[in-house]
Chains A and B, each alone.
Chain A
Amino acid sequence: MLRIRNLSLSYGAQNVFRDVTFDVHRGEIVCVCGESGCGKSSMLKSVLGFVDAEGDIQVDGIRLAETTVDEVRRCIAYIPQELSLPYETVEEMVRSPFALHTNRHIVFSEEKLMSDWRMLGLSGDLMSKRATEISGGQRQRIMLSVAGLLGKRLLLADEPTSALDEDSTLLVLDYFKMLAKERGIAVLLVSHSPIIMAGCTSCLHL
């Protein structure tokens, strides 16, 4: 699903990473780990074309380039780090990605959302809350459930458990496993969490 060959990134004279090669297949969860500043988030951003890295990136057989970037992004669900969205309510936050032109064919199912929320330890009444009333951890899990429901072939998640305690991190790991196994999604995530690192298919150390 994701094929990366000889990927290198540098900012001026400073090399961030060099000649990185790996694949993420359907049903796999690959965790990018390493010290702060080693380019973990930039790795995800380079897959989306937000960072100019040298090398070859292919998503579902489509090589990332200026002419194909929109097509590549349509295959991906992305959760950035510490996201604050300009939405007033949780419902708006949840529904807005389904309103995008490219996602209109995806039917939003509240029943399915509630089922995913139960897996993630979220209660259904969050739906009626204002965005400012939820915690960072709840927001992370809500965004994760939305990404899961979008049903894209590749999920990129940047520090999806940074605001979560151990129990919630375990729930998130189980959720990733469910997405990978049952929905056939390829997952590439960045995490410092030993629980996530231990539970994923493989780790990529930068």
Chain B
Amino acid sequence: MIEDITFVGLGIGLLLMIVPFFFLSKYRTGLLRPAMGGTARMIVQLYLIGLYLQYLFEYNLWYVNLAWGLIMVLVATGTALQRTKLKPTVLAVPMFVGFLSTAIIVSIYFLGLVLGLYSVDGAGLTLTTLFTAQYFIPVFGLLLGNMLGVNVVALNTYYEGIKREQQTYYYMLGNGATRWEATAPFLRAAIIKAFNPCIANMAVMGLVAMPGTMIGQILGGSNPALAIKYQMMIVVITFVASMMSLMITVGLASRKSFDKMGRLKDVFED
């Protein structure tokens, strides 16, 4: 049985934030107010989501869960657009499609094939168990969180690279490269920058970094052997989803990002 955290306990825990707040203030980073605001927002948002999820878990209707997943994708797309400073007219639809299709494909693969959350009876194959709130919503959220971070870094690096290194891009096109060939060095740089931290983290997992899923499961009462299996799968699906969503977004966005002569349009917000 997991130990509950009382409100007093939560308060004592939050007191720890005094340490970073002190240094943010002492070195005049300008980050004190955003950090305090962020902490307050986190507390309120998590409480509200907690309440909402309780209802969601209680009713556990597959279509409501799917609708909630869709809202999560919309919020993730909006947040990513804000953080990339790229024009929504160029990236909103590709990113939304990239996030949604990847999250659905990878969730179904993991929940259906790996966890076996489907049923076969007289009525045939039933997939609604895939969308059980307890599994579908956390997995969807986890995938979106990771896709969001990777896409922001990669898309910024990709488009800024093409804009900054226009000569290189034109050199490639001017020597007969297709647009895909000419953008490949920039996509490569974007992938390296976005995925290097994930790969480094994966390599030290369990030794230096104690991953959240595993810790959460162990604290929640699972045995470590089960927790590591989940952790492994979580790392795999987040890595795969991040790459898939990035490729889909870049592929779909290319038509709106470049003109017919292959030149990069003005994709950045003013």
B182, closest chain A residue (CB): A100
Selecting from B143-151, B167-175, B212-220, the interface stretch reads: B167-175
The 8 closest A-B pairs by CB, nearest first: A78-B174, A102-B176, A66-B260, A49-B261, A86-B185, A80-B167, A74-B176, A100-B177
Q: Are A66 and B174 in contact (CB under 8 A)?
A: no
Whether B171 and A83, one on each chain, are in contact in the complex, defined by CB atoms closer than 8 angstroms, is: yes
CA gap between A153 and B175 in the complex, in Å:
12
B266 at interface (Cβ–Cβ under 8 A)? no
Instruction: Beyond A85-B168, A100-B181, list 16 extra A-B contacts (CB 8 Å).
Output: A45-B170, A48-B173, A49-B262, A66-B261, A69-B262, A76-B175, A76-B176, A77-B175, A79-B171, A80-B171, A86-B185, A100-B172, A100-B175, A102-B176, A150-B175, A156-B174
**Which residues in B have their C-beta under 8 angstroms from that of A81?**
167
B178 within 8 Å of A (CB atoms): yes
Q: What's the Cα separation between A147 and B174 when bound, in Å?
A: 11
Is the CB of B189 closer than 8 A to any CB of chain A?
yes
**A residues less than 8 Å from B167 (CB atoms):** 80-84
The yes or no answer to A54 lying at the interface (CB within 8 A) is no
User: Chain A residue with minimal CB distance to B262?
Assistant: A69
Q: What is the minimal beta-carbon distance from B168 to any residue of chain A, in angstroms? A: 6
**Chain A residue at smallest Cβ distance from B174:** A78
Closest to B177 in A: A100
Contact B171 A103, beta carbon cutoff 8 Å: no
With A69-B262, A86-B165 known as contacts, the answer to whether A76 contacts B174 (CB < 8 A) is yes
Within 8 A of A (CB), among B219-270: 260-263
Contact B174 A73 (CB under 8 A): yes
Q: Is the CB of A50 within 8 A of B176?
A: no
Chain B residues whose C-beta falls within 8 Å of the C-beta of A34 in the assembled complex: none
Tell me if A97 is interfacial: C-beta within 8 Å of chain B: yes
Binary contact readout A87-123 vs B (1 if CB under 8 angstroms, 0 otherwise): 0000000000100111100000000000000000000
Q: Which residues of B contact A78 (CB under 8 A)?
A: 170-171, 174-175
Instruction: Name A's B-contacting residues (CB within 8 A).
Output: 45, 48-50, 66, 69-70, 73-74, 76-86, 97, 100-103, 147, 150, 152, 156
Interface centre among A66, A73, A103 (most CB of B within 10 A): A73
Set of chain A residues within 8 Å of B168, measured between Cβ atoms: 83-86
Please classify how large the interface on chain B is, using the bins under 10, 10 to 19, 20 to 34, 35 or more.
10 to 19
Number of inter-chain CB pairs below 8 Å: 70
Whether the Cβ atoms of B174 and A48 lie closer than 8 Å is yes
Scoring B165, B168, B176 by chain A CB atoms within 10 A of each residue's CB, the highest score goes to: B176
Q: Could you tell me the distance in whole angstroms from the C-beta of B167 to the nearest C-beta in chain A? A: 5
With A80-B167, A86-B189 known as contacts, the answer to whether A100 contacts B176 (CB < 8 A) is yes
Q: Which residue of A69, A77, A82 contacts B261 across the interface (Cβ within 8 Å)?
A: A69
Q: With A and B bound together, what is the CA distance between A86 and B184 in angstroms?
A: 11
Which of B175, B177, B260 gathers the greatest number of chain A CB atoms within 10 Å? B175
20 pairs from A and B in contact (CB 8 Å cutoff): A48-B170, A50-B263, A69-B261, A69-B262, A73-B173, A73-B176, A76-B176, A78-B170, A78-B171, A78-B174, A79-B171, A80-B170, A83-B168, A83-B171, A84-B167, A84-B168, A101-B177, A102-B178, A150-B175, A152-B176
Residues of B with C-beta under 8 A to A74: 176
Partner pick for B174 among A80, A82, A84, A85, CB 8 A cutoff: A80
Nearest to B180 among chain A residues (CB) is: A101
Q: Once the chains bind, are B170 and A103 in contact (CB under 8 Å)?
A: no
Known contacts A50-B261, A81-B167, A86-B189; is-contact A103 B176 (Cβ 8 Å): yes
**Smallest CB gap from B188: residue in A:** A86
Within 8 Å CB of A101, what residues of B? 177-178, 181
The residue of chain A having its C-beta at the shortest distance from the C-beta of B185 within the complex is: A86
| Nearest A residue to B176, CB-CB | A102
Q: How far, in Å, is A206 (CB) from chain B's closest CB? A: 20
Query: What CA separation (Å) do A12 and B175 show in the bound complex?
Result: 29
CA distance A84 to B175 in the complex (A): 15
Quick check: B170 and A69 within 8 Å, CB to CB?
no
| Contact residues in B for A45 (Cβ distance below 8 Å) | 170
Question: A66 to chain B: which residues have CB within 8 Å?
Answer: 260-261
Residue of B nearest to A82 (CB): B167
Q: How far is the CA of A103 from the CA of B176 in the complex (A)?
A: 7
How far does the alpha carbon of A79 sit from the alpha carbon of B172 in the complex, in Å? 10
**Bound state CA distance, A100 and B174, in angstroms?**
12
